[in-house]
Amino acid sequence: MIFKAHKAHMNNLSNMTKTRICVIGAGPCGMSMLYNYANMDAGSDVEIVCYEKQTTWGGLWNLTWRTGTDEYGEPCHAGMYKHLWSNGPKECLEYPYYTFEDHFGKAVPSFPPRPVLLDYLLGRMKKCKKDPTQYIKFSTAVRFVKYNESEDNFTVTSTNLVDDKTVTEKFTHVVVAVGIFNSPNIPTFPGIESFGGRILHAHNFRDAGEFKDQRLLLIGASYSAEDIALQCCKYGAKNVICTWRTKPMGFKWPEGIEERPLVQRFDSNSAYFKDGTSAEVDAVILCTGYLYTFPFMDENLRLKCTLSVYPEGLYKGSLWLGGGNNKLFYAGIQDQYYTFTMFDVQTLWICNYILGKYEKLEMTEMLKDSNAMVERRKGLKDCHDDIDFQSDFVAELCSLTDYDKRCVDARSLFHKWEHDKDENIKTYRDKCFASIFTSTMSPSHSSDWWNAFDDSIKTFVGK
């Protein structure tokens, strides 16, 4: 652990008497940032303000019935849908100091539906030493972040959406924690404008029940396509065709789901595929991922690369080396296997860094460190390589902080989970995992996932 207070660094916070940290986003990652700050007694010279567009915290775990834009005309942030269950075991994201057993008073199954995970997230925040809500400005959208060279600080322009008031505030540090699933990527396809049925991006998918008895075409071969195909099949779609660009998902699909190479064009309700086949479909769901975009950041502060487990230009996966004098951070902005625990340790590292607990390095050293990680990333071949890479990344952050190293034991759980999915995509959510921290084996759910239509906390937790 490197905990040497670096005076030169502290003195750099020159023009403002206080260290003022701006956090953008109060989803799981922003919540970790606030949790760490609230628990660390940073002193009265360090302030934190978190801006959150939504009316409450929890980020993408909040479900809204609205699509497109919200009640204030802002693009809907969360693309959550009804009936979503975690697609990974909860043991892989369990907080070391607040386990699911701590939260529910008993062991619960490994794959929770959305309301259970949200409840757990919110429950953990109640364990803060100080009330973290005091730091948050809800229903407030950040419009623009600018670095002031002469003052070595940031001007953050934000709008309170309720009273439509726009204000600017100055901060010494900015932490961008807006997540990676908020701005849908909506590519076009020849003839799609002639398609006679409904077309939507997965971000606007709300309820599989809307597609009962329909013939669906899902464009994409990642998590959204995988889960929405299963959901729709489970909730009575007539059939689902998933179409892939690079490679098929390749799971042993239940009856009613198939994969075909990329759709080439549409002609009214007919879709034509690369293998020469065609199909009549009623609706098209674009599971084409998200834009990796930060439009509210000034040009020179904006992370511009593609999503990966280690984006270019970030020291320790967090500190932006492209501008802002080492006072701008992107947190939870990498492609993720680890989530809650990675956000925890990453934001703990950020807190420590801001408070000057690390020896300050030259830019060349930080770039060298970052570039070495990016080089290693480029050699990753499959999801198992990705899991090992991210496990090492989390382990390194644990070694630089006092975060519980056991969280990296999730590594073997992730590998097993991938094998479970390959074995049977319909039943992998019925598997049980043991908590890393309590060693308790999770119980089975009262019904297998395919036949579970009740997403309530009560049913999931049991009596």
Give yes or no for residue 298 binding a second copy (CB under 8 A).
yes
Give yes or no for residue 236 binding a second copy (CB under 8 A).
no
Give yes or no for residue 246 binding a second copy (CB under 8 A).
no
Residue from the set 2, 151, 187, 305 that interacts with a second copy by CB under 8 A: 187
Give yes or no for residue 265 binding a second copy (CB under 8 A).
no
- Total residues contacting a second copy (rule CB under 8 A)? 46
Q: Of 73 and 379, which has the nearer Cβ to a second copy?
A: 73
Contact 78, 54 (CB under 8 A): yes
User: Residue 285 is encoded by which pair of tokens?
Assistant: 């769901």
Contacting a second copy within 70-129 (CB under 8 A): 70-73, 75-76
Q: In angstroms, what is the minimal distance from the CB of 197 to a second copy?
A: 6
Residue from the set 83, 114, 173, 206 that interacts with a second copy by CB under 8 A: 206
Give yes or no for residue 195 binding a second copy (CB under 8 A).
yes
Residue from the set 159, 231, 352, 442 that interacts with a second copy by CB under 8 A: 159
Task: Give the phi and the psi of residue 318 in degrees, each rounded to 5.
Answer: -140, -45
The Cα–Cα gap between 325 and 405 comes to 30
Give yes or no for residue 385 binding a second copy (CB under 8 A).
no
The Cα–Cα gap between 95 and 299 comes to 36
Give yes or no for residue 223 binding a second copy (CB under 8 A).
no
Give yes or no for residue 169 binding a second copy (CB under 8 A).
no
Give yes or no for residue 138 binding a second copy (CB under 8 A).
no
| 11, 104, 112, 429, 430 from 452: Cα distances, Å | 58, 20, 11, 11, 11
Q: Of 203 and 421, which has the nearer Cβ to a second copy?
A: 203
Give yes or no for residue 295 binding a second copy (CB under 8 A).
yes
The Cα–Cα gap between 387 and 382 comes to 9
Name the one range near a second copy by CB under 8 A: 200-208, 335-343, 404-412, 432-440. Answer: 200-208
Name the one range near a second copy by CB under 8 A: 41-49, 67-75, 130-138, 240-248. Answer: 67-75
Q: Of 6 and 302, which has the nearer Cβ to a second copy?
A: 302
Q: In angstroms, what is the minimal distance from the CB of 64 to a second copy?
A: 8
Residue from the set 7, 252, 304, 406 that interacts with a second copy by CB under 8 A: 304
Give yes or no for residue 404 binding a second copy (CB under 8 A).
no
Residue from the set 8, 43, 44, 193 that interacts with a second copy by CB under 8 A: 193
Give yes or no for residue 382 binding a second copy (CB under 8 A).
no
Residue from the set 130, 198, 274, 419 that interacts with a second copy by CB under 8 A: 198
Name the one range near a second copy by CB under 8 A: 18-26, 131-139, 191-199, 353-361. Answer: 191-199
Give yes or no for residue 143 binding a second copy (CB under 8 A).
yes
Q: In angstroms, what is the minimal distance from the CB of 407 to a second copy?
A: 33
The Cα–Cα gap between 32 and 345 comes to 8
Give yes or no for residue 313 binding a second copy (CB under 8 A).
no
Residues forming contacts to a second copy in the complex (CB under 8 A) are: 63, 65-73, 75-76, 143-144, 157, 159, 164-166, 183-184, 186-188, 192-193, 195-201, 203-204, 206-207, 209-210, 291, 293, 295, 298-299, 302, 304
